[in-house]
Amino acid sequence: MTDDAQIKTTRIYTGRVISLDVDQVRFPDGTTGELEIIRHPGASAIVPFVSDPAGSDPQVLLLKQYRYATGGTLYEIPAGRLEPGELPAACARRELLEETGCSAESMVPLTSMFTTPGFTDERIHLFLASGLTRGESRREADEFIEVETVSLSTALQMVESGQIQDAKTALGLLFAAGFRAGL
């Protein structure tokens, strides 16, 4: 929907991560209705390559992260919320360091995606990171993460088998493999 589709918005809730609005909107056919919209500042996610992405079956880092909303752990790529005024590439570098302890020599944009456009405006910017240098992570208090190194082919098999269920991770790995890496 374009900005001119919004007739009125009412903020219902403001939290640490999201806000909830009820918007009165004009649909493309001219009718009007109400939609509940979760507002999110956006995020960046990173497919971190330990070895040369153009090499034969390169190595990537995956996070095994506890996620309360899913009732357990998920395999994910590093990601995090944009700070006010922060550029997506800066967020990607910050989150890579915070969650894995790595800095990247190269950070290449892959694509941007809407996570669930039926009810949220959240957009995630995906990046490919290479030339990693390991250091100390700086995780937030509510982040419970194990970092694992796997081959890209193994990560793709994990997507295919359903072992990787996180959408940003699946798309990031598939995009990196299909358009950027050496497979």
Q: Are 95 and 46 in contact (CB under 8 A)?
A: yes
Cα separation, 90 vs 83, in Å, equals 10
CA-atom Rg of the chain in angstroms:
18
Catalytic residue list contains 143:
yes
Q: Output the six-digit token pair for 121.
A: 């405006």
**Among candidate residues 183, 141, 140, 180, the one with its CA nearest the CA of residue 48:** 180
- Catalytic residue selected from 143, 146, 148, 160: 143
Are the beta carbons of 174 and 77 closer than 8 angstroms? no
**β-bridge pairing 79-81 and 43-48:** antiparallel
Neighbours of 124 (CB within 10 A): 23
43 alpha carbon, distance to own chain's centre: 6
Q: Which residues are catalytic?
A: 143
